[in-house]
Amino acid sequence: MDITTAPVAEPAALSTAPLRLAVIIGSNREGRFGPVVGTWLLDRLRERDDFDVDVIDLAETALPTSLSYDPTPPVKAVLDTVTPKLARADAFLVLTPEYNHSFPASIKNLIDWHYVQWQAKPVGFVSYGGMSGGLRAVEHLRQVFAEMHAVTVRDTVSFHHAHGLFEPDGELREPTEPEAAAKRLLDQLGWWGRTLRDAKESRPYAA
């Protein structure tokens, strides 16, 4: 009996385009330390050519805490400044402080105003704070992003007692370990971002 073998499909070409990364600056508190850490983080990203970066600074994003399926024109105008950045992103990097053992309400608010924009995309974390370095905020965020069908990256960058680690000009006093941690995080985030982007191009995600 003749056996006919079906032709094997050629694998789709993998994209070599830079990963579209949305960096979310999470604190909106007056006098916040976030911009110091954020500047350091963005400097690390400028050293790489595998990311195309959008910045979403929640101190400049006035989303109301009252959610709505039919937002008013002023709210739509604010959403129009952030939703397209989230939608086109292949990956996210969240910079969070720790407030009272958790993350700021501003980050939860941004998450809750969106849904499909997070799905099947990786999320990395850079945190800062006191003794815990913001890691309790990160662990809470992992649970929230799991509900959004996002994948959180295992390694993080955390700054313990962050105010004492930076010079007045924003430079780190001891940069070796944080820069090594940032490289690990960005390498992992890039791997997940490219892998999930390629997967979705061949098979849409089933939420």
Q: Is residue 35 part of a domain?
A: yes
Quote the distance between the C-alpha of residue 127 and its chain's center.
Answer: 12
pLDDT in tens, 93-133: 999 999 999 999 999 999 999 999 999 999 999 999 999 99
Q: Is residue 155 part of a domain?
A: yes
Q: Is residue 11 part of a domain?
A: no
pLDDT in tens, 18-61: 999 999 999 999 999 999 999 999 999 999 999 999 999 999 99
Q: Is residue 195 part of a domain?
A: yes
Q: What residues are paired with 95 via a beta bridge?
A: 25, 126
Q: Mean pLDDT over all residues of the chain?
A: 93
32 C-beta neighbours (distance < 10 Å), count: 17
Q: Is residue 3 part of a domain?
A: no
Q: What is the CATH number of the domain that holds 119?
A: 3.40.50.360
Q: Are 138 and 158 in contact (CB under 8 A)?
A: yes
pLDDT value for 50: 96
pLDDT value for 162: 95
Q: Are 103 and 139 in contact (CB under 8 A)?
A: no
pLDDT in tens, 3-17: 555 555 555 566 788
pLDDT value for 16: 83
- Could you say which DSSP state residue 58 is in? G
How many domains, in total, are found in the chain?
1
Give dist(CA 85, CA 61) in Å, integer.
Answer: 13
Domain that holds residue 157: 19-201
pLDDT value for 207: 76
Q: Is residue 4 part of a domain?
A: no
Q: Is residue 10 part of a domain?
A: no
Q: Is residue 8 part of a domain?
A: no
Tell me the pTM. Answer: 0.91
Whether residue 147 has pLDDT greater than 80: yes
Give dist(CA 179, CA 52) in Å, integer.
Answer: 19
